[in-house]
Structure 1
Amino acid sequence: MVTNRRILSEVRVNRSMLAGGMVLTAIGSVLGAAGAAMVCAALLTAGRKWVRSLETPPAALAQRALRDVKTASAAGWEAWRAEHSSPN
């Protein structure tokens, strides 16, 4: 334990440099967050404009796809039942 105390007592941290680094890191974090928010806002705006420019709204495309899936599922189920139906 004496060795650890001696090593730790010899370590001298430049407090002004440490404080300056912390301030610069905080400023950089705030600027980074602001930049990320601006990028997100720009992408959101562009996405909204793109969706508005579509001929068919995404909800209609989703409804069409769901109807197609239901139709295909029913057809597959009927084909399976016809193939595996028991004569009873």
Structure 2
Amino acid sequence: MATNDRVISGFQVNRPLLTGGVALTAIGTLLSATGTVVVCAALIAAGRSWVRGLDTPPTALAQRALREAKVASNAGWEAWRTEHSSPN
């Protein structure tokens, strides 16, 4: 155990350097988070502007696509039933 004690006691950290590294890491993290918020705000503003400029709102496009999908599904189902109907 004396050998392990010597290895552990020989490990000395330069505290001012460690403190500086921690401070720089904290500052970098805050700057990164701030940059991320600014980029997200810019993208959201651009997206809202783009949606406002559309001729047809996205909800109307989604409703139309859903209606078309239902019609296509029903047509496919009817075609399958006609093709595979039993004589009974």
User: What is the root-mean-square deviation of aligned Cα atoms in Å?
Assistant: 0.7
Written as runs of structure 1 = structure 2, the 5 A alignment for 1:2-81 is: 2-81=2-81
Runs (4+) of structure 1 exceeding 6 A deviation are none
State the shift of 1:11 in Å: 1.2
State the shift of 1:2 in Å: 2.3
Unaligned runs of 5+ in 1: none
Q: How many residues are aligned here? A: 88
Q: Return the TM-score normalized by structure 2.
A: 0.96
Query: How many Å separate the matches in 2 of 1:11 and 1:62?
Result: 64
Q: Return the TM-score normalized by structure 1.
A: 0.96
Percent sequence identity is: 66
Unaligned runs of 5+ in 2: none
